[in-house]
Chains A and B, each alone.
Chain A
Amino acid sequence: MNYTSQKSLTYNPSLTRNIGNKALTIISALFAIISVLPLILVISYVLIKGGSYINFDTLILEPEPPGDDLLSAGGIGPAITGTFIMAAIASIISIPVGVGGGIYLAEYSKSGKFAKFIRFGSNVLAGVPSIIAGVFIYAIIVSTKILFGSMFSGIAGGISLSILMLPTIIKTTDEALKLVPNDMRRAAFGVGASKFTMITNITLPAAFSSISTGVLLALARAAGETAPLIFTALFSRYYITSFDDLFYEMGSLSVLIYNFALEPYEAQNQLAWAASFILVIVLLTLNILSRWIGTLGTFSKNKV
């Protein structure tokens, strides 16, 4: 029998299926361009417009109250320190708890009912809107004045940010530890290590780079959050000068942007752009850093 077809085997661009294919490829390329466009636009506006308002004074001075001085709005110094302090408070709370929780999930109870419930719970917690975290902290810390009688405070702001960091850190620790091969655990037990020694000396160091990736990503997310801060830390125009100031209102870059963007004064709006320049630079650096660290680890996701 003769199976050779009379049709040509060369590519025929006028076939319906080839035209359809081309059209769909072009459409998907268009979609990809549209998806990348916002990033380019936002970043270039923030860098160009924000960067043009950056100078030494803007970085150091305290912001002026809106409307006082139409030409200058002062600077964003206290907001920068405030963001760092609250991010630090959030990290001090959420890193130990998150890494500990992750250790429990990965090392002690791999598929127990309780572990399943905790994994489910941390996924749900990750989905809780950030403003709800603010409302929650307002209800239990700010309105009850539980922190030595202070109401709005940097500490309350830091605690509300830690709620947002917790699920990410637990999840990445859990996943990072699961990537460490069981052979290493058996080897450690084989030479007589206790479980505590095994975890602290073998598995945690092996998973360190993946865990720090997660921690940095969580930190980057928390540092840019506004919603939980607007009624926990509120805003302050002044630098903190003593430890006691942690128990009072504290400014942050994100709340400064929110407050000053909606002011009718040009000078304040410019300060908002300057603040978003600093914030975006810090967050992009954290993100790129976390990607780089993620590629370093022995058992990181990208390598296995």
Chain B
Amino acid sequence: MSLPGSDTGEHDGHTAAADAPARVTGETLCVGAGSGEVLRLDEPLSLWGGTDLATGRIIDVHHPQHGISIAGRVLVMTASRGSSSSSSVLAEQIRAGVAPAAILLGTRDAILTLGAIAAAEVYQVRLPIVLMDAAEIAAVPASGPVDVRAEPGQATVSW
């Protein structure tokens, strides 16, 4: 595991990320590669009932990021939530092209991973899903583009 230089309060405009491409590694739960703008969920989200099947928009009115779309984003979910039907919702969003570009998880979420595995079986579309510990997740920037490469065994997240 390699963590980028932590925020050491260096002078303005010169962060560790600017020195070299920063990266962290995690455990691959689902093989694939994807990149997109980071979307860090402020609260757990159930894809079933919480996101629109056709657009990927967050429709859970109780969710603080209600209205934002997960489509094409690198979705960071530190905790799991929701119905097992979320497997089907993720598979359908992958089919429709409105799924996240990659998912970074803080828990071993079998429901989401099964949705991605099923979509890979049927459509040969691979959505990378990566398991990371709290320090690794904290190292991922809160916004901006991120690249995710999940290979068998180990995944790399870089920006």
Are A and B genuine complex partners? no
- The residues of A with any CB-CB pair to B shorter than 8 Å are none
